[in-house]
Amino acid sequence: MLQCIFLLSDSGEVILEKQLTGHRVDRSICNWFWDHTNSQPNSYKVVIIIIIITFSLSSIIIFDFSVLCLQQQPVIASPTHYLFQVCREGITFLACTQVEMPPLMAIEFLCRVADVINGYLGGLNEDSIKDNFVIVYELLDEMIDNGFPLTTEPNILQEMIAPPNIVSKVLSVVTGNSSNVSDTLPGSTASCVPWRTADPKYANNEVYVDLVEQMDATINRDGVLVKCEINGEVQVNSHITGLPDLTLSFANPSILDDVRFHPCVRFRPWESNQILSFVPPDGQFKLMNYRVRKLKSTPIYVKPQLTSDGGICRLNVMVGMRNDPGKTVDSVNVQFQLPPCILSADLTSTHGTVNILSNKTCTWSIGRIPKDKAPSMSGTLVLETGLERLHVFPTFQVDFRIMGVALSGLQIDKLDLKTVPYRFYKGFRALTRAGEFEVRS
Amino acid sequence: MMIVDMLTLTSWKSEVSDLKLQLRQLAGSRAPGTDDSKRDLFKKVISNMTIGIDVSSLFGEMVMCSATSDIVLKKMCYLYVGNYAKVNPDLALLTINFLQRDCKDQDPMIRGLALRSLCSLRVANLVEYLVGPLGSGLKDNNSYVRTVAVIGVLKLYHISATTCIDADFPETLKHLMLNDQDTQVVANCLSALQEIWTLESTTSEEAARERENLHSKPYVYYFLNRIKEFSEWAQCLVMELVAKYIPSDNSEIFDIMNLLEDRLQHANGAVVLATTKVFLHLTLSMADVHQQVYERIKAPLLTQVSSGSPEQSYAILSHLHLLVMRAPYIFSSDYKHFYCQYNEPSYVKKLKLEMLTAVANESNTYEIVTELCEYAANVDIPIARESIRAVGKIALQQYDVNAIVDRLLQFLEMEKDYVTSEALVLVKDLLRKYPQWSQDCIAVVGNISSNNVQEPKAKAALIWMLGEYSQDMHDAPYVLESLVENWDEEHSAEVRLHLLTAVMKCFFKRPPETQKALGAALAAGLADFHQDVHDRALFYYRLLQYNVSVAESVVNPPKQAVSVFADTQSSEVKDRIFDEFNSLSVVYQKPSYMFTDKEHRGTLEFSDELGNLSINAETGDSVVPAQRVEENDKDLLLSTTEKDDVRDPGSNGSAYNAPSYNGSVPSATSQPLADLAFSSTGATGQAPAPGLAIDDLLGLDFSVGTATTPSPPPLTLNPKAVLDPGTFQQKWRQLPISLSEEYSLSPLGIASLVTPNALLRHMQSHSIQCIASGGQSPNFKFFFFAQKAEEASIYLVECIINTSSAKSQIKIKADDQSSSQAFSTLFQSALSKFGLP
């Protein structure tokens, strides 16, 4: 039961306000929130790089954007309201309520709002929201009524409110119809498959299935792999005429530890035979999330060594392939934060470039690991005067990407189409990248 | 500064009047391209509105321009109207016409939007125009319009409840809820009806019955059978309802759980959590199944944590934290999930550290402690401290502390001041529990120079060890002596207190070496400006003067090792939070009565300004078990009891439950639920929760029996009557009202009734105890009880006093109905004496 949603810019300005109930929430709450956020001891900003890779056979699009993330709890109690906040790319989505409600519902909903707006505007930033605030209002109007979430399926929303893309702009010029709202209601509001458009038509019927995996690993000070697991997603991009019924099966479903499904997946076939049977939404969607625990090894190793004596610390980091996954490992990147007690650092590498920013963040971009020689970075760190040895050790965050391999070993067995008699094109892809991959020293 | 403000103000004004002019020109125009220019203008108006400039003066012009077929223009117009209608009720009338026309449009989208805007005007004197469109909207053949209309009914109810009831909309909604094809319509009906009936139930028996009916078998089964058709958000709503349902037997429970099991695999975390709640609450009475439920929900929750955004992870983690604290042994093999990642926010790390501490057992302690030790070198100093404390806590939980002690001692050698400080405090606690380790610890602690320890807590710990183990530490007297010399530079009273005691202890063990230091310490202590320090010094001084051997037995008695350290949060509070699973309570780690105001708990009344209505009513003196309960007038009793059944397991999603404290609405469902909840706390044998032992230690007993002391006849009251709030509430619900009267109060009494406490003390002197009170002038509300002197017969009284009318309304319930009149007289005479000198 949310009362109000605000969108705030990274400077605390209210970009947009949507009141949901008869009880207006005054904007002054935003000022309170902003002051509160800035008064937090830990409110330093962290920049996280998120890379989303969407790919069909023809193209690979990489969105690479930085996220300003405030060290602020998602649920805060202000003197008058309970606030939920979700921060995406500098835009804070702030929701207020005065009544008890499931916190996850509010947060989950705000995440969906952020995703939907992001999808509509092709990225989130202050300017794009301000340019398209009418669309954002329209979206919020359909997504939530009287404080209770209604529809958050992007497929359905796109039928009610056309996205402001170039195609529709061109269309509107050609046809003279400048409305960005479709004239009819989406068929699915009355259909029994709420996530699917009533009757899409395509000249080429095609389905692309992508396995996108993220490896989270923690390697401790002694070089022991203390935790290694994979969080994967099955992303599907489906363009099929009519109402298709698909089944997807894996060669080795037993390796999956836990799964989460899109609402379209039928539970029984999975429970009895580990087969995914579903009527897909039209277009791109996330069919399934899965988790594979207790992996025994990582594709690359990172070995940091720090020895300190007499106010000088010698640092040496080696990176190399451990188990050759059969495909090239690229976009390898090692990042770490120098401890505050270090005055200056002088680091060089045999391969790639080393960059030290003014906030003492050190980035070593390696790119592709050469086959013949393992790259290394070494140099000296000068400690604060009076300090003999280093007591605070940096954690190395490693990034890499391997195209064409799902490191969990999950394999797609086959994809079948029932009910619709078309021939259709199937495409499978896989990708693994590093998630929270950290090496302690 | 002023000039600049004036300038911007005038520029706004001129811009607004400029817009006004342009809108006027366009209003009547039918030329081609009008819509495009209108759209630009509307956009400008709305962007001004968005940044907070008041453009309400354009209302008339905007309405004039609203005659258009362009749907985007319409939407912008609706948005504008919705924003300003409430402040311009007169002008809002202008919009009714075009909105009503749009409600009959051919396009269902426009019908829906117009209806939504019409209901969002929220102007009280326009409600008559709402009824018609809403009625036809509810019958519309398009489901989109119906969904909007259902919520519209709720909006109407909030503007004018009587109009809504008179039009018989709740009945219509009920019919729709049970018959509509579209599940979104059904879901909206459910949420609207829950809200309407909850708010109505305070005045209407019928509504209260309907609300209770929602939790009955036919309804719950109806929703459950359609659960898969509902949207994910509606599913959450249904789950809330199911969580309140009480199945008649175990097979029913299993049926429900089988049906809902796949919901745990849902992509939406909110659904997963709502399902978890249903599972946990259904199985409360079956200990073994409850265990299996934990096992079953473990994997989905852990997946949610690792795959969601940081915000989602946090919300899930908070709930996991609660579960881990309740059943640590179930999660002990998943400890690796609680390892901290480097770039997690510190509030997440903190939760994880607590969970790591909880799940540590014989098999995983080594790994966990190794991991925690790595955090001690963390860049984030608060987390480094927390992790050292966590190591210490694990050490205190375990029997085999061999390895841990070594680690702690390594911390002491790390030469980081905060690490040393935390480690010192821990070593002290450790020694209190495991005195056998003193040799090893003392050897290391002895090497620490007291000059390097700055933090008061750590310094106090070091001094305590110096005093306690002065016979083993070679230079203890000299260290203490130098500390005493620097007495004036020691700012913390805590440290000075410890120093005094340590010097005393040392004196008894090594008198010749310490005598000088003791003299100096006592002199400094006597001159100390801090009262406690001064008193302690004086006490020691006199004690030594009186008898040295007595002093020794006071200061240096043989000590027993501490077996369990008290927990900060009582298990009662934890149980309460568990009852409120999937709500804010879990995130705040407090039950809702500790952080919500009454308006926002019971009903759906929002307030723009939160008055501080709550009063802490301390029930009398030590006679009644001293329970500090937060009070307020509305749901007085609810918040006092430990098991608040009405708000209990399901209040969260909707929070629409009105307090049903006036026993006139005996809720059939709530009673068994309360029992269920009780069994979770009471069944010590079933759930080996570690918290329970602590409960006894803290002496948290709610089972204070009704004391009976014989005293002379006829209607005399027991002056030491005791009743705990739980029993009170139970009795209040069970007993019928035997008397209901209205008294007048004397003006003197009214004058003295500034705070409820004044009356409480007065009534107590007449052997009538108050169990709860609250309110603010002019309305006060009290719940009293009294006990017949020679029997266990109890009288319960609800007393509402209005100071402005000098009237008090009294409802009496009694175990022994026959004597209630006599009691009433007694009560009245006691009340009438209030305020008299």
DSSP-derived secondary structure for A4-43: EEEEE-TTS-EEEEEE-SSSPPPTHHHHHHHHHHHHSTT-
Residue A238: other Cβ atoms inside 10 A? 25
User: CB-based contact (8 Å) between B654 and chain A?
Assistant: yes
Q: Say whether A391 and B302 touch across the interface (CB within 8 A).
A: no
Write the pLDDT tens digit of every residue in B745-772: 777 777 777 666 777 777 777 788 877 7
> Is residue B629 very low, low, confident or very high in pLDDT (cuts 50, 70, 90)?
very low
Residue B674 has pLDDT above 50, yes or no: no
Q: Count of residues for chain B?
A: 837
Q: Say whether B299 and A110 touch across the interface (CB within 8 A).
A: no
Nearest-angstrom CA–CA distance, A180 and B73: 11
The pLDDT, as a whole number, for residue B9 is 55
Nearest-angstrom CA–CA distance, B637 and B639: 5
Cα–Cα–Cα angle for B218, B222, B225, nearest 5°?
A: 135
Residue B740 has pLDDT above 60, yes or no: yes
Determine what percent of chain B is predicted with pLDDT higher than 90.
0
Residue B664 has pLDDT above 50, yes or no: no
The pLDDT, as a whole number, for residue A10 is 79
Q: Which residue of B has its CA nearest to A341?
A: B379
Q: What is the mean pLDDT of residues A165-175?
A: 46
Q: Which of A42, A181, A257 sits opposite B346 (nearest CB)?
A: A42
User: CB-based contact (8 Å) between A229 and chain B?
Assistant: yes
Name the average pLDDT for chain B.
74
> Is residue B181 very low, low, confident or very high in pLDDT (cuts 50, 70, 90)?
confident
Identify the CA nearest to B322 among candidates B525, B587, B67, B534.
Answer: B587
Residue A286 has pLDDT above 60, yes or no: yes
The pLDDT, as a whole number, for residue B546 is 86
Nearest-angstrom CA–CA distance, A284 and A262: 12
User: CB-based contact (8 Å) between A289 and chain B?
Assistant: yes
Residue B62: other Cβ atoms inside 10 A? 26
Determine what percent of chain A is predicted with pLDDT higher than 90.
1
Task: Give the A:B interface size as CB pairs under 8 Å.
Answer: 271
Residues 6+ apart with CB under 8 A from B260: B224, B227, B239, B242, B275, B278, B279
> Is residue A172 very low, low, confident or very high in pLDDT (cuts 50, 70, 90)?
very low
Least confident segment among A58-62, B3-7, B54-58, B672-676:
A58-62
User: CB-based contact (8 Å) between A71 and chain B?
Assistant: yes
Residue B837 has pLDDT above 60, yes or no: no
User: CB-based contact (8 Å) between B378 and chain A?
Assistant: yes
> Is residue B714 very low, low, confident or very high in pLDDT (cuts 50, 70, 90)?
low
The pLDDT, as a whole number, for residue A173 is 45
Q: What is the mean pLDDT of residues B576-601?
A: 67
Least confident segment among A207-221, B352-366, B648-662, B791-805:
B648-662
Identify the CA nearest to A208 among candidates A242, A238, A248.
Answer: A238
| Paired residues of A292 in beta bridges | A230
Backbone angles phi, psi at B2, to 5 degrees: -60, -40
DSSP assignments along B236-247, one per residue: HHHHHHHHH---
Pairing between β-strand A425-440 and β-strand A206-219 as defined by DSSP bridges = parallel
Q: Which of A133, A216, A226 sits opposite B371 (nearest CB)?
A: A226
The DSSP H or E segment spanning B674 is helix B670-682
Q: Please provide the distance, in angstroms rounded to a whole number, between the alpha carbons at the two ends of chain A.
A: 47
Least confident segment among A26-40, B229-243, B588-602, B686-700:
B686-700
Write the pLDDT tens digit of every residue in B264-288: 888 888 888 889 888 888 888 888 8
Nearest-angstrom CA–CA distance, B202 and B217: 24
The pLDDT, as a whole number, for residue B636 is 34
Q: Which residues of chain B from 399 to 458 reach within 8 Å of chain A, CB to CB?
A: 414-416, 419
Nearest-angstrom CA–CA distance, B435 and B432: 6
Contacts of B576 in chain A (CB under 8 A): none
User: Greater confidence, A422 or A245?
Assistant: A245
Buried b (16+ CB within 10 A) or exposed e, B94-126: bbbebbbebbebebbbbbbbbbbbbbbbbbeeb
DSSP state, residue B742? E
Q: Say whether B76 and A134 touch across the interface (CB within 8 A).
A: yes
Q: How far is B805 from chain A (nearest CA, A)?
A: 32
Q: What is the mean pLDDT of residues B609-620?
A: 34
User: Greater confidence, A167 or B327?
Assistant: B327
Are B212 and B618 spatial neighbours (Cβ–Cβ below 8 Å)? no
B774: tokens are 């609250």
Q: Which of B86, B233, B374 sits opposite A149 (nearest CB)?
A: B233
> Is residue B565 very low, low, confident or very high in pLDDT (cuts 50, 70, 90)?
low
The pLDDT, as a whole number, for residue B727 is 77
The pLDDT, as a whole number, for residue B712 is 40
Q: Please provide the distance, in angstroms rounded to a whole number, between the alpha carbons at the two ends of chain B.
A: 61
User: CB-based contact (8 Å) between B334 and chain A?
Assistant: no
Which residue has 């604290």 as its token pair?
A: B325
The pLDDT, as a whole number, for residue A174 is 46
The pLDDT, as a whole number, for residue A285 is 84
Q: What is the mean pLDDT of residues B88-115?
A: 81
DSSP state, residue B448? S
> Is residue A73 very low, low, confident or very high in pLDDT (cuts 50, 70, 90)?
confident
Q: How far is A79 from chain B (nearest CA, A)?
A: 8
Q: Say whether A27 and B377 touch across the interface (CB within 8 A).
A: no
The pLDDT, as a whole number, for residue B567 is 58
Least confident segment among B211-215, B268-272, B451-455:
B451-455
Q: Say whether A392 and B378 touch across the interface (CB within 8 A).
A: yes
> Is residue B606 very low, low, confident or very high in pLDDT (cuts 50, 70, 90)?
very low
Least confident segment among A188-192, B19-23, B460-464, B489-493:
A188-192
Residue B148 has pLDDT above 80, yes or no: yes
Pairing between β-strand A376-383 and β-strand A425-440 as defined by DSSP bridges = unpaired
Q: Which of A108, A181, A392 sits opposite B71 (nearest CB)?
A: A181
Contacts of B45 in chain A (CB under 8 A): none
Please tell me which of A184-198, B178-192, B448-462 the model is most confident about, judged by mean pLDDT.
B178-192
B380: tokens are 């984030």
Cα–Cα–Cα angle for A66, A71, A74, nearest 5°?
A: 100
Q: Which residue of B has its CA nearest to A85?
A: B311
Write the pLDDT tens digit of every residue in B496-509: 888 888 888 888 88
Determine what percent of chain B is predicted with pLDDT higher than 70.
79
Q: How far is A346 from chain B (nearest CA, A)?
A: 21
The pLDDT, as a whole number, for residue B284 is 82
User: Greater confidence, B619 or B35?
Assistant: B35
Nearest-angstrom CA–CA distance, B582 and B270: 9
Residue B655 has pLDDT above 70, yes or no: no
Contacts of B342 in chain A (CB under 8 A): 395, 397, 436, 438
Q: Which residues of chain B from 187 to 226 reach within 8 Å of chain A, CB to CB?
A: 188, 191
Q: Which residue of A has its CA nearest to B384?
A: A392
The pLDDT, as a whole number, for residue B249 is 83
> Is residue B11 very low, low, confident or very high in pLDDT (cuts 50, 70, 90)?
low
Identify the CA nearest to B503 among candidates B488, B532, B523, B489.
Answer: B523
> Is residue B10 very low, low, confident or very high in pLDDT (cuts 50, 70, 90)?
low
Contacts of B654 in chain A (CB under 8 A): 1, 101
Buried b (16+ CB within 10 A) or exposed e, B384-404: bbbbbbbbbbbbbbbeebeeb
Q: What is the mean pLDDT of residues B62-91?
A: 76
Q: What is the pTM of this model?
A: 0.67
Q: Say whether A98 and B607 touch across the interface (CB within 8 A).
A: yes
> Is residue B605 very low, low, confident or very high in pLDDT (cuts 50, 70, 90)?
very low
Q: What is the mean pLDDT of residues B2-9?
A: 49
